[in-house]
């Protein structure tokens, strides 16, 4: 056997062992990293689902609905709807098992055989934590589970085993290919290097044969062992260096992928219940900015159903929920279509804001037009109610515009993205005043001024112009009064708006607005003439009639010199 072969047989096994260990280390590290990321994601989903289920149950408990089967069923439906929203693949299934092992709910149909159910219940009874595996619906699946006591459900978040470990299997295949390619390259290089390494020996033999045959003792053989050996070491070091570089790159990509996924899930968890998806995407560049409190000028809308207690007493609970859901669905769509967000539901009331988390130049007009849209939507809603023989809904809407504090408020366990401040309270009081002034919608002085500034009003009370623009983009407004809501001493002017006016309404509103100017100028007799003329055009008009009576009273007994026209409200 030639010495070249002997060197090859000695060195090549060492290369095989070294490469195999390096590739194996890279493979197991990469697989463990990818699998850990997948497990963490599944665990994160399970944690998010449990938190959402807890929040739904807390909501029932806070409203004393935790003993009502229909409300519990609605909460269960909400939990499963949320479960569907966190599914990332067609093969992923989230389902709930009751105490008997029957499927109580599932995001996708799943058929569990008797044997599978027995094995699954045995696993659940062991209360094992972490990642579990079982055959479900005839397929091997891995899953995370937790027991939700209020529903008496075992909730399982499952994925097909082949899909769950697809990345790990891909890494195994890539590792095998890389190892085979590396070994092939190493063998070729080793043949080349051993050939060059034994070349001096061949020269020695040739020189010796020449000396024997020719007797020439001057023949010399250059010694090249040190150069060739150093070149082999450099090549091996380069190869192992590239392998280490590839391994570090795999670890870095896995880490960055895990961080990106957690970052996205955190932001979506904060805003998923009240911010449209396109707004969430805008904040991925700087998510921390969403969590900082800020003073901001925005529009606040409150909407409430009149006499809701009477309505609820006349409907069965399930019918009441259906009616409310249909009503809320239409109202929320309008708010979001106008660029606002629903801050919260307060019983049958809705609180919405424009200007946070994203501000627009036209937040004030958006809020005003949304309020009018909501009133129109209730009229369509009532047509359906009449067809179904159900009671009609009538609403009052109050809108204010001003500086509030906006941000995430609460504790680490429960936070709400909301707004607080006097401007919020005033908006709520404005909604309450709709009953006092017999109007469906009231806006504050600050919102009125902003609408006028942005050209959203068809005219001003001072000018008496009341007809809307031809394109319907501007609104007629009527000044109703100056009031100090309960708890406040400073008065604010309140207005009502319409989308458009009839010809007689336009004339009456113009007279009314002119009368308001005379009223605040203490010309009560002349103001009474204007209001009387408005009532003559619109018999039964409460606003003009109310001011007419007030002017007659003041004309007979003038108010004190420091009178500023402010009506103090003693109730909410």
For 333-368, the pLDDT digits (tens) are 999 999 999 989 998 899 999 998 888 899 999 999
In angstroms, what is the C-alpha Rg of the chain?
39
Q: Are residues 309 and 439 in the same domain?
A: yes
SS (H, E, C) 91-115: CCEEEEECCCCCEEEECCCCCCCHH
Decide if 19 is inside a domain.
yes
Tell me what pLDDT residue 464 has.
39
From CA 431, how far away is CA 398, in angstroms rounded?
4
What is the arithmetic mean of pLDDT over 453-459?
83
Tell me what pLDDT residue 550 has.
92
Q: Are residues 433 and 308 in the same domain?
A: yes
Q: Are residues 315 and 346 in the same domain?
A: yes
Q: Please give the order of strands across the beta sheet that includes 153-160.
A: 103-106, 93-97, 153-160, 139-148, 132-136
Q: What average pLDDT does the structure give for the chain?
A: 81
Range of the domain at 15: 3-24+167-267
Of residues 4 and 420, more confidence is placed in: 420
Decide if 543 is inside a domain.
yes
**What's the pLDDT band for 229 if we cut at 50, 70, 90?**
very low
| Cβ neighbours for 416, distance < 8 A, ≥ 6 positions apart | 344, 408, 409, 410
User: Do the Cβ atoms of 543 and 478 come closer than 8 Å?
Assistant: yes
**What's the pLDDT band for 211 if we cut at 50, 70, 90?**
low
Q: Are residues 66 and 145 in the same domain?
A: yes
From CA 404, how far away is CA 419, in angstroms rounded?
6
From CA 377, how far away is CA 440, in angstroms rounded?
13
What is the arithmetic mean of pLDDT over 240-261?
60
Q: Are strands 477-484 and 566-568 parallel, antiparallel or unpaired?
A: parallel
| Cβ neighbours for 518, distance < 8 A, ≥ 6 positions apart | 524, 526, 527, 530
Coil, strand or helix: which one is 358?
coil
Q: Is the peptide bond before 291 cis (omega within 30 degrees of 0)?
A: no
From CA 377, how far away is CA 26, in angstroms rounded?
62
Q: Are residues 327 and 426 in the same domain?
A: yes
Decide if 378 is inside a domain.
yes
Q: Are residues 202 and 172 in the same domain?
A: yes
Tell me what pLDDT residue 206 has.
64
Q: Are residues 150 and 185 in the same domain?
A: no
Please report, for the domain that includes residue 514, its CATH number.
1.25.40
Q: H or E segment at 428?
A: helix 422-436
Decide if 277 is inside a domain.
no
State the pTM of this model: 0.53
Residue at which a domain ends, from 267, 283, 304: 267
Q: How many domains is the chain partitioned into structurally?
A: 4
**What's the pLDDT band for 227 if we cut at 50, 70, 90?**
very low
User: Do the Cβ atoms of 482 and 516 come closer than 8 Å?
Assistant: no
Please report, for the domain that includes residue 150, its CATH number.
3.30.450.20
From CA 21, how far away is CA 26, in angstroms rounded?
8
User: Do the Cβ atoms of 491 and 522 come closer than 8 Å?
Assistant: no
What percent of the chain has a predicted confidence (pLDDT) above 70? 76
Residue at which a domain ends, from 456, 479, 498: 456
Q: Are residues 492 and 565 in the same domain?
A: yes
* Other residues' Cβ atoms within 10 Å of the Cβ of residue 37: 18
Decide if 304 is inside a domain.
yes
**What's the pLDDT band for 162 if we cut at 50, 70, 90?**
confident
Coil, strand or helix: which one is 272?
coil
User: Do the Cβ atoms of 527 and 547 come closer than 8 Å?
Assistant: yes
CA nearest neighbour of 94 among 57, 34, 141: 141
What is the arithmetic mean of pLDDT over 453-474?
56
| Cβ neighbours for 36, distance < 8 A, ≥ 6 positions apart | none
What is the arithmetic mean of pLDDT over 436-443?
94
Decide if 110 is inside a domain.
yes
Going 104 to 110 to 113 to 118, the CA torsion angle's sign is: negative
What percent of the chain has a predicted confidence (pLDDT) above 90? 34
Q: Are residues 487 and 452 in the same domain?
A: no
Decide if 140 is inside a domain.
yes
Phi/psi region, residue 396 (left: phi>0; alpha: psi -120 to 50; beta: rest), is beta
What is the arithmetic mean of pLDDT over 274-282?
54
Residue at which a domain ends, from 125, 146, 164: 164
Q: Are residues 126 and 106 in the same domain?
A: yes
Q: Are residues 374 and 234 in the same domain?
A: no
Please report, for the domain that includes residue 298, its CATH number.
3.30.70.1230
User: Do the Cβ atoms of 235 and 189 come closer than 8 Å?
Assistant: yes
Decide if 276 is inside a domain.
no
Tell me what pLDDT residue 515 has.
94
Of residues 171 and 310, more confidence is placed in: 310
Q: Are residues 406 and 426 in the same domain?
A: yes
Tell me what pLDDT residue 471 has.
41
* Other residues' Cβ atoms within 10 Å of the Cβ of residue 16: 15
Q: What six digits make up the tokens of 299? A: 């529009």
Tell me what pLDDT residue 146 has.
85
CA nearest neighbour of 352 among 339, 342, 365: 342
Coil, strand or helix: which one is 48?
helix
User: Do the Cβ atoms of 530 and 498 come closer than 8 Å?
Assistant: no
């Amino acid at each position: 056997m030639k010495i070249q072969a002997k060197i090859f047989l000695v060195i090549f096994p060492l290369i095989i062992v070294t490469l195999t260990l390096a590739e194996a280390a890279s493979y197991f590290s990469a697989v463990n990293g990818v699998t850990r990321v997948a497990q963490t994601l599944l665990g994160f989903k399970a944690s998010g689902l449990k938190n959402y289920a807890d929040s739904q149950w807390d909501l029932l408990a806070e409203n004393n609905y935790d003993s009502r089967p229909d409300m519990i069923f609605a909460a269960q439906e909400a939990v499963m709807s949320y479960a569907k929203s966190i599914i990332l693949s067609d093969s992923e299934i989230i389902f709930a098992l009751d105490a008997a092992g029957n499927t109580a709910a599932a995001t996708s149909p799943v058929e569990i055989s008797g044997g599978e159910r027995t094995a699954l219940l045995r696993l659940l009874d062991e209360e094992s934590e972490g990642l579990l595996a079982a055959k479900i619906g005839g397929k091997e699946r891995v899953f995370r589970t937790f027991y939700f006591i209020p529903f008496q459900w075992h909730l399982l978040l499952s994925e097909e085993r082949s899909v769950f470990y697809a990345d790990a299997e891909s890494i195994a295949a890539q590792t095998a290919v890389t190892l085979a390619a590396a070994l092939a390259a190493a063998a070729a290089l080793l043949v080349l290097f051993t050939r060059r390494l034994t070349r001096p020996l061949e020269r020695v033999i040739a020189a010796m044969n020449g000396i024997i045959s020719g007797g020439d003792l001057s023949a010399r053989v250059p010694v090249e062992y040190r150069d060739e050996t150093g070149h082999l070491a450099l090549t091996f070091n380069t190869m192992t260096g590239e392998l280490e570089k590839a391994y570090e790159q795999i670890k870095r990509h896995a880490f960055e992928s895990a961080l990106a996924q957690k970052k996205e899930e955190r932001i979506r968890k904060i805003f998923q219940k009240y911010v449209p998806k396109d707004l969430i995407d805008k904040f991925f560049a700087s998510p921390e900015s969403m969590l900082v409190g800020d003073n901001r000028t925005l529009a606040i809308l409150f909407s409430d159903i009149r006499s809701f207690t009477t309505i609820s007493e006349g409907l069965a609970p399930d019918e009441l929920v259906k009616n409310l859901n249909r009503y809320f669905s239409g109202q929320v769509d309008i708010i979001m279509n106008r660029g606002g967000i629903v801050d919260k539901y307060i019983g049958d009331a809705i609180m919405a804001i424009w200007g946070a988390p994203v501000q627009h130049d036209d937040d004030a007009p958006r809020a005003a037009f949304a309020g009018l849209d909501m009133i129109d939507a209730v009229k369509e809603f009532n047509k359906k109610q009449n067809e179904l023989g159900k009671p009609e809904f009538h609403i009052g809407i109050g809108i204010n515009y001003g500086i509030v504090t906006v941000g995430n408020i609460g504790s680490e366990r429960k936070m709400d993205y909301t707004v607080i401040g006097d401007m919020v309270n005033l908006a709520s009081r404005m909604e309450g005043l709709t009953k006092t002034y017999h109007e469906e919608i009231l806006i504050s002085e600050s919102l009125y001024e902003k609408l006028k500034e942005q050209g959203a009003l068809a005219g001003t009370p001072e000018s008496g112009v009341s007809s809307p623009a031809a394109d319907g983009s501007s609104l007629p407004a009527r000044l109703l009064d100056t009031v100090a809501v309960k708890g406040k001493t400073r008065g604010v002017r309140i207005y009502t708006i319409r989308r458009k006016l009839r010809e007689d309404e336009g004339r009456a509103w113009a007279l009314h607005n002119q009368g308001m100017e005379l009223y605040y100028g203490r010309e009560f007799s002349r103001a009474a003439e204007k209001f009387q003329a408005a009532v003559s055009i619109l018999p039964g008009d409460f606003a003009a009639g109310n001011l007419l009576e007030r002017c007659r009273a003041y004309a007979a007994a003038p108010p004190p010199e420091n009178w500023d026209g402010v009506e103090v409200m003693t109730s909410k």
